[in-house]
Amino acid sequence: MSSMSKIDRLRSSASVQRKVGIGLRLIVAVFLIIFSIFPILWVISASLNSTGTLATQTLIPAKPSLDNYRTLLTTNEFPFWTWFWNSIKIAGITSVLSLAITTIAAYAFSRFRFRGRQTMLKGIMLINVFPALLALVATFLMISQIGDVLPFIGLDNHTSLILVYLGSAMGINIWLMKGFLDTIPREIDESAMVEGATHTQIFTKLILPLLRPILIVIAIINYIGTYGEFVMARVLLRSNEHYTLMVGLQIFTGAQFAQRWGVFAAGALIGALPIMIIYLLLQDQIVGGLTQGAVKG
Amino acid sequence: MSSIASQGIQTVKASSKPPVLPRLLKFIGLIILDSFVVWLSLKLFSFGYYPLVAVFVIIAIFVNVVLLRKEAYPLRWMVVGLVLMAMFTIYPIFFTVWVSFTNYGESHLITKKQAVDQILNYKYLPQAGKAYTWTAFKTPEGDYALWLIDANGIGYLAKVGVPPTQPVPGEASIGELDKNGIPKTIAGYERLNPIQAATDNNLTNLLFGDPGKTIQVRSPSEAAELLPLYVYDLAKDAMTNQETGMVYTNLRGIFTSSSGEQIRPGFVATIGLSNFKNFFISPALRGPLVEVTTWNFAFAILSLLLNFSLGLAIAILYNDRYFPYKKLIRTLLIIPYTVPALITILIWRGMLNPEIGVVNRILDSSIGLSPEWYTNQWWAKFAILLVNLWLSYPYFMLICSGALQSIPPDIYEAAIVDGARPWQQFRRITLPLLLVAVGPLLIASFVFNFNNFNLIYLFNAGGPPIPNTPTPAGYTDILISYVYNLAFSGSRGVDYGFAAAITIIIFVIVGVITLFQFRYTRMWEEVSENV
């Protein structure tokens, strides 16, 4: 009898301990969350602050209004919507084309056996150890040289920027995609082949539908990466109406940043929103992709 | 299994004859592509961009082989990707290596061919030799024309920018000739009398005709054709000035006389290991470079430690299936990760503004501290680590909680039975198992931070500046942002050669670290398992 109550007491003390532990951890969580979302709240508040300067801002705006958004919509001073559209366009085209290149090439690596296959796979990985950023100067000089002959792939041009982005399509994603393709049993292909299907048919009719979920995740990771890319765009694009949103925002902050803080905040929020929504909706899938080895760039 | 598959492929291929139309289209496509590449190569050649010509020719040959040879069939599936990779990833790497051995930069920006062509176009006005007598005409808008008569009495009409013509009087707006053989009128022009012409200061500066045959007024009575100022001697690689007879030899990318006089423009020339020597032994550069390199390593290591520790701590703290609001907490904590990095860096830049930013207002009113985030080097370094912590801890939190869940719980149960304390459990079980899983990602993250250009450049562009440096450098500059300044800032002249040399040095550092990673984690074997 007495031993039973001892166990009960032990149990209840363990559950008290656990409750205290959870409570403490919740308090820590509150502090962490404040650290994590304060800058975002601050920017939301800045974008609603009608006076629009850094100095006059408070966390809860005294006179909330949408003036900053209105300025953004109507101003002729800087083409915010053109920048925004440029970013969406470039990221969209790049991610679709890059996905196509990666998938088709990965199919060949997964399904064909040919001489030099392993060497090529390893070579691709080695080449991608060289950070693209380091070749910045060379890429710039090269594009400016090509532009002397073919102006439509020269400096200050979206085509050349997209081509440069696509240059890294044969990168680490080939390994990822090949890994997924390897998990699709080859018996599927073989039975189709017996019935006379060509490789093109097998790829488009059989494999692509099976790949759809992972294709979407890789396309989104690509899209987010390209949308946020700054350095290459900064170096290759020269004129105001060709800038991407990231370049535009950076240049905008160069002049009278503190005075136009409110307008910047509104622009930053609009620019960040699409990506934030994608992330939060698909966090489980993207986290899966992350742990496969993609580092945010 | 694979042998059956390949047999299958072969029988299918043998039985199906390739249709004619696609083959025809392929050939036409290749012919168009090849002729385009030939045209492009010739054009690039005329600019002297020889490495680029080589790249295009090699790529074109590769594409032809892949599309025409049957055994290259698998490569057809990746030909576009390979071409783009060769052009925009591999070629820039080789180009960087080449540039690092040259003096590419301010006053050495163009190829030798372009420079020689440009110099050979320089003209001078000979003081003797073939000459014309001239009469000037002028439009009300201020355009000039010259009527020239050579030694044989033949008349020419010369205007600026177009080749001289030999018009027939009475036609094409040219009026009748007077007794000296000069047209009395030219439609739209007014004839200047000798005194007007002699006192018109514009006239002697104008170059009539096009660059093929340029004519300039030499004296009130004579005009003469300009002659090339320099003659190039290919064997000696030297320029000779025709006016003075001075010889200029090619000295490290610029034609220089024995007295040190130079002919602009200079051109790109290989200068051996000079750039690398400068990096390691130039006393003027040593100060900032030691500073920059030290901070580069400190920044990458400290960032990794801080960000990983916070991410891991959070992951462990909430690694509990039954923790209340777990999903909500995670969602709120990964918010920093969801905003494009550039935008958050700029937001922090505003928040840390020393006079009016929110952080200093709070700090000042609560504890009376007002750090100078941009002008004091230590505060600037602290701010950069703080911003990077905010940007990156969610990433480590995510990968650590993923890895923690993969550690089997019975290991802990066994450890508890053996009397292990929580700290011992963490030290002996969690950390080693976790490091195996996330080790490669940690090294990738170190490499990423080692070259985290965006953060440094966008937050404060490497400031505050280090005083008295030969090239612009700041206390928070890392090597890659220093390279960017060298190549693009242009305040004291660009130096692509030196920038490329530093790039190569960074690459060696990054390469050694990555190689170490492959060795240490045996990731190579793991990755090649499936090959």
The 3 state secondary structure assigned to chain A is: CHHHHHHHHHHHHHHHHHHHHHHHHHHHHHHHHHHHHHHHHHHHHHHHECCCCCCCCCCCCCCECCHHHHHHHHCCCCCHHHHHHHHHHHHHHHHHHHHHHHHHHHHHHHHCCCCCHHHHHHHHHHHCCCCHHHHHHHHHHHHHHHHHHCHHHCCCCHHHHHHHHHCCCCCHHHHHHHHHHHHCCHHHHHHHHHCCCCHHHHHHHHHHHHHHHHHHHHHHHHHHHHHHCCHHHHHHCCCHHHCCHHHHHHHHHHCCCCCCHHHHHHHHHHHHHHHHHHHHHCHHHHHHHHHCCCCCC
Same domain? For B299 and B212 the reply is no
Same domain? For B24 and B85 the reply is yes
CATH of the domain at B26: 1.20.58
Question: Looking at this predicted complex, what is its ipTM?
Answer: 0.85
Task: Using CA coordinates, name the residue in chain A closest to B89.
Answer: A167
| The predicted structure's pLDDT at residue B2 | 41
Instruction: State the average pLDDT over residues A57-71.
Output: 78
Kindly state whether residue B174 falls inside one of the protein's structural domains.
Answer: yes
Kindly state whether residue B260 falls inside one of the protein's structural domains.
Answer: no
A60 and chain B in contact, CB less than 8 A: no
Tell me how many domains chain B contains. Answer: 3
Kindly state whether residue B382 falls inside one of the protein's structural domains.
Answer: no
Same domain? For B322 and B466 the reply is yes
User: What is the edge-to-edge ordering of all strands in the sheet holding B254-257?
Assistant: B230-233, B238-241, B247-251, B254-257, B262-263
Instruction: State the average pLDDT over residues B106-121.
Output: 86
Locate the domains of chain A by residue range: 14-70, 79-254
SS3 for B406?
coil
Kindly state whether residue B163 falls inside one of the protein's structural domains.
Answer: yes
Render the burial of A127-143: b for 16+ CB within 10 Å, e for the rest. Answer: bbbbbbbbbbbbbbbbb
B488 and chain A in contact, CB less than 8 A: yes
Same domain? For B431 and B283 the reply is yes
Q: Which of B177, B427, B452 is closest to B301 using CA atoms? A: B452
Same domain? For B436 and B307 the reply is yes
Same domain? For B167 and B312 the reply is no
Kindly state whether residue B370 falls inside one of the protein's structural domains.
Answer: no
B436 and chain A in contact, CB less than 8 A: no
Domain end marker among B194, B228, B262: B228
Same domain? For B317 and B450 the reply is yes
CATH topology of domain A79-254: MetI-like fold (1.10.3720)
CATH of the domain at B205: 2.40.430
Residues of B in contact with A122 (CB under 8 A): 528
Digit-coded pLDDT (tens) for A152-164 = 888 999 999 999 9
Kindly state whether residue B360 falls inside one of the protein's structural domains.
Answer: no
| The predicted structure's pLDDT at residue A293 | 44
Same domain? For B313 and B431 the reply is yes
pTM value is 0.80
A127, A182, A287 ranked by CB distance to B530: nearest: A182
B74 and chain A in contact, CB less than 8 A: yes
B16, B87, B394 ranked by CB distance to A167: nearest: B87
Instruction: State the average pLDDT over residues B367-388.
Output: 89
Same domain? For B219 and B311 the reply is no
| The predicted structure's pLDDT at residue B91 | 92
Pair of tokens at residue B115: 């420079």
Structure confidence at residue B131 as a pLDDT band (50, 70, 90): confident
Computed over every residue of chain B, the mean pLDDT equals 83
B503 and chain A in contact, CB less than 8 A: yes
Q: How far is B238 from chain A (nearest CA, A)?
A: 26
Digit-coded pLDDT (tens) for A193-224 = 898 888 889 999 888 988 887 888 888 888 98
Structural domain boundaries enclosing B211: 123-228
Contact residues, B window 141-160, toward A, CB-based 8 Å cutoff: none
Kindly state whether residue B476 falls inside one of the protein's structural domains.
Answer: yes
Q: First CA to last CA across chain A, in angstroms?
A: 64
Kindly state whether residue B440 falls inside one of the protein's structural domains.
Answer: yes
Same domain? For B200 and B283 the reply is no
Same domain? For B27 and B60 the reply is yes
Task: Using CA coordinates, name the residue in chain A closest to B92.
Answer: A138
B16 and chain A in contact, CB less than 8 A: yes
A37 and chain B in contact, CB less than 8 A: yes
* Interchain CB distance below 8 Å, B402 and A291: yes
Neighbours of B378 (CB within 10 A): 10
